[in-house]
Homo-oligomer: A and B are copies of this chain.
Amino acid sequence: MTDHAGVPMTLAALRALARAKLRAVGLAEDHAEAVAETMVAGERDGCASHGIYRLLVAAASVRAGVVVPDAVPVVSRPGKALVRVDGGGGFAQLAFARGLPVLVAAAREHGIAALALNHVVHFAALWPEVEALAREGLVALACTPSHAWVAPAGGTQPVFGTNPIAFGWPRPAGDPFVFDFATSAVARGEIELHRRAGLPVPEEWGYDAEGAPTTDAKAVLDGAMRTFGGHKGSALAAMVELLAGPLIGDLTSRESLALDDGRGGSPVGGELIVAIDPAGFLGEATTAHLARAEAMFAAIEAQGARLPSARRYAARAHSLAEGVVVPAALHAEIMAIGAAA
């Protein structure tokens, strides 16, 4: 997605375009603002698949009636260290934005706290959320189910979603340590790209609908993806289903896919975010102990290995200075949103 025959844009211009197009498809002002911010962050950080391309995905979800465009998130406190935001069927971004300050305050007061987002539509990566918490000085862990596309280890039929896990850790000087990965062997979009390009996929990516190994991308999309890391990745995928599904009273990936009923919309359901305040266990020694974490990061980088978020931060620095280039074909598709409606 590094098409040089593209349209150069500043991040401010990209933000304005994203907001305008989200408004044009009928998204309420506050939702358009929150959703645009996530897409701009993805594009800025070089994550093309979670960047401004997602405008097309979000617009489709609105048109298909999968998302409630003017949902009003409702914040509640079901427990002393628990926060819930009922998203009312809207996109997750605004629900998270409403819950963020409440979660931060709860984590600082209790040392640890959890935020459940319920009844939200997911199309975005989780790293912007754990990064936001880490920038508040908190350690954060987030996960969400999706649609049932992934088979458990030892099976061949879909049960799990791509079920990402994201983690953020505050660093005293500089950007937080952040990772965010799917518990499936690859992102579903990666298989879709192979299908479009007519390329075979590695056999360890998935099964066809009959449960046989296959290198046919479409057969995997119609069959089942596999988890990363064998039975360990499968165990983590199950954990994500449980934590961000039944534990918070929301849908599993199988339930989300059943609810979609073939509309092809983004997953609907819940998300769990746990935040821990380092000052809780460490008190006045917080600075000293965070420095010991820095020594571990240094030991990783000293041998030429890269921290998970390094590539994104490098792309970010470039985008902040130079802006981004939106591929010409994508730009044309985006400009047609709303106009075509």
Contacts and interface: CB of A to CB of B under 8 A. Distances in A.
Interface of A: 78-82, 84, 109-114, 116, 139, 141, 151-157, 159, 165, 167, 169, 177, 179, 181, 183, 228-233, 235-236, 238-239, 241-243, 245-249, 252, 254-255, 274, 276-278, 280-283, 285, 289-290, 292-293, 295-296, 299-300, 303-306, 308
Nearest to A185: B229
Copies of chain A in the complex: 2
A312 to B, nearest CB: 13
B304 A155 contact: yes
B112 A246 contact: no
Contacts of A280: 78-79, 82
A246 B289 contact: yes
Given A181-B235, A296-B254, A305-B152, A281 B78 contact: yes
Nearest to A182: B232
Contacts of A113: 81, 112
A278 B272 CA distance: 13
Contacts of A246: 278, 289-290, 292-293, 296
Contacts of A231: 181, 308
A245 B293 contact: yes
A80 B300 contact: no
Nearest to A107: B81
B155 A305 contact: yes
